[in-house]
Structure 1
Amino acid sequence: MSSPVINPNGTLKGKVAVVTGASRGIGEAICARLAMEGARVVASARTAESGESRLPGTLHDTVDRLRRAGADAAFIKADLALAADRERLIDETEALFGPVDILVNNAAITYFMPVVDFTEKRFKLMMEVQVYAPFHLSQLVLPSMIERGSGSIVNISSPAGIHPKPPYRGGRGGTVYGLCKAALERFTTGLASEVQANGIAVNVVSPGLVDTPGVAVHGLINEQSKDRVQPIEYIAEAVYQLAKADPATMTGRVDYAEPLLKELGLEPSALI
């Protein structure tokens, strides 16, 4: 891995990036990687201060990390289940840094339980945050991207979006999660086909299993799965590569991080 530094004249110099779900884990790592290439980064999540979540990590922590390394970064607290917060996130970003060039839809709220037990409230909340919020945020940033003839949207999915295949062995209640991710992937490819001619790339990165606080709280890493855990740097690198992609040649893709980097002949950079 290359040495982790901020390059103010990097490939994303002058670009404004919004990353949701950025108080910890994958979102925080993505913020770091984009900042390393000179992007002006806005980190967003519900957790701004310590004590606001049972999980470690806050927006303050993320932005302090970036600023200590010399990045131009800020955070905007937002609950993506609320339309007004989504609108405020983009409005405040534009007022702070200018129009959004890169949107990374990473935020998620997830419940694992069988369909027979799933409540309407939880179903609607998952759909709102994981499907409609990326749709709405894309609507909010697209007019400016189209006007300028450039932009990138990267959506974070999961192998859960792949259809289960026989022989079935039961499950741990991931049907609704998989439904959300499959819908997000179909939205990605559809939007890519709509806006490629406008110079906008729309892609998916599917992380696989990553050791993050969210994964830990759901107990997803165990003796059976521990060998599949992937370093977080792979996901951050894959997002960066798609964020700077030329829509003429790389859009509408649903990529798993490690195979994408192998295709490009790249190793992930260490993170600041």
Structure 2
Amino acid sequence: MGDLDGKVALVTGASRGIGAAIARRLAAAGAAVAVSARTVAEGESRFAGTIAGTVAQIEAAGGRAIAVRADLSKPAERESLVEQVAGRLGPIDVLVNNAAVTWFTPVTEFSEKQYALMFEVQVTAPFDLSRRVVPGMRERGGGVILNISSRAAIHPPPTRAGRGGTVYGMCKAALERFSTGLAAELHPDGIRVNALSPVKVVPTPGTLFHHLTTEDDPNAEPDDVMADAAYALCRPTPAGAEPLTGRVTYSQDLLDELGAAGARS
């Protein structure tokens, strides 16, 4: 028995890395988890990992999950994703917006197509998916929306040489402002909305590809730290505690605040 028993969670960008780790953690707490991404089978992406693989990991651990392919840059596929999850598992109680597509390119070299696609997947898609699940959450008296952000949203000093992360930081800053604004709007409905970032770079296939960290980096953050922090924000509010909502927070900082043991229970 887990404290997410009977709940339905949708995690986007869950074929690998942080998204897959969060999906596994929510399933371990009892949620029926829909994992979504574009990669269904190995070989469809330059990176290892598929939504079918994430489902297999969850089922091997005794959990329940389904895989739903979706290209979140396409409005019709976002609509279909929510409909498919609701049809197969039931109304969505927990939405984790994790999917991303990223180029680390200086502004002067950025193409309009890359710029538009990054904002479509990392800003418009969370906005759209959230609007689609909120009515059902309101009807049931509550729900959780968690947006996965990055410390790239923090304003850099003007004298620090960048690595082409300006547009990425713009996307994440917009996502964080969306999170706090939506939290305020939905607070009367009992729907919690938060933004969560890793404290340190997590060695995922994407961050390794962009040379942001290495597999043996002693300063990197394991993906299960983000997964535990995400669970802490998605679990029901403990009796007598204030609901966690409207937060722009960081993985290990949140676990330290709550007590890592309590967050993992």
TM range (shorter): over 0.9
Equivalent residue number for residue 32 of structure 1: 24
Aligned partner of 1:255: which letter? T
Superposition deviation, residue 240 in structure 1: 0.5
* Matching residue within 233, 237, 250 for 2:224: 233
Aligned partner of 1:14: which letter? G
2:259 corresponds to 1:265? yes
TM-score (norm 2): 0.94
2:161 corresponds to 1:187? no
Computed over aligned residues only, the root mean square deviation of the Cα atoms, in angstroms, reads 1.7
Superposition deviation, residue 228 in structure 1: 3.1
* Matching residue within 10, 14, 18 for 2:10: 18
Q: Does the 8 A contact of 1:33 with 1:237 survive in 2?
A: yes
Secondary structure of residue in 1 paired with 2:147: strand
Cα distance between partner residues in 2 of 1:29 and 1:219:
21
Secondary structure of residue in 2 paired with 1:94: helix
Superposition deviation, residue 227 in structure 1: 4.3
Cα distance between partner residues in 2 of 1:54 and 1:71:
28
Equivalent residue number for residue 248 of structure 2: 254
Equivalent residue number for residue 51 of structure 1: 43
Cα distance between partner residues in 2 of 1:245 and 1:262:
19
Q: Does the 8 A contact of 1:204 with 1:254 survive in 2?
A: yes
TM-score (norm 1): 0.92
Secondary structure of residue in 2 paired with 1:65: helix
Equivalent residue number for residue 193 of structure 2: 202
Q: Does the 8 A contact of 2:208 with 2:214 survive in 1?
A: no
Superposition deviation, residue 170 in structure 1: 1.7
4+ runs of 1 displaced by more than 6 Å?
none
Q: Does the 8 A contact of 2:4 with 2:236 survive in 1?
A: no
Secondary structure of residue in 2 paired with 1:203: strand
Secondary structure of residue in 2 paired with 1:228: coil
Secondary structure of residue in 1 paired with 2:260: coil
2:164 corresponds to 1:173? yes
Unaligned runs of 5+ in 2: none
Cα distance between partner residues in 2 of 1:29 and 1:188:
22
Aligned length: 260
Superposition deviation, residue 105 in structure 1: 0.2
Superposition deviation, residue 48 in structure 1: 0.4
* Matching residue within 124, 129, 135 for 1:132: 124
Q: Does the 8 A contact of 1:20 with 1:43 survive in 2?
A: yes
Cα distance between partner residues in 2 of 1:221 and 1:171:
15
Cα distance between partner residues in 1 of 2:264 and 2:203:
18
Cα shift readout 1:53-100 (whole Å, capped 9, x = no counterpart): 010001111000111111111010000000011111100000001100
Superposition deviation, residue 248 in structure 1: 5.1
Q: Does the 8 A contact of 2:203 with 2:214 survive in 1?
A: no
Equivalent residue number for residue 147 of structure 1: 139
| Aligned residue runs from structure 1 range 101-116, under 5 A | 101-116=93-108
Cα distance between partner residues in 2 of 1:69 and 1:228:
29
Q: Does the 8 A contact of 1:40 with 1:73 survive in 2?
A: yes
Secondary structure of residue in 1 paired with 2:184: helix
Equivalent residue number for residue 77 of structure 1: 69
Cα distance between partner residues in 2 of 1:78 and 1:161:
26
Structure having greater relative contact order (Cα 8 Å, sep ≥ 6): 1
Cα distance between partner residues in 2 of 1:228 and 1:162:
20
Aligned partner of 1:213: which letter? P
Cα distance between partner residues in 2 of 1:45 and 1:255:
25
Superposition deviation, residue 226 in structure 1: 3.5
Equivalent residue number for residue 216 of structure 1: 208
Superposition deviation, residue 103 in structure 1: 0.1
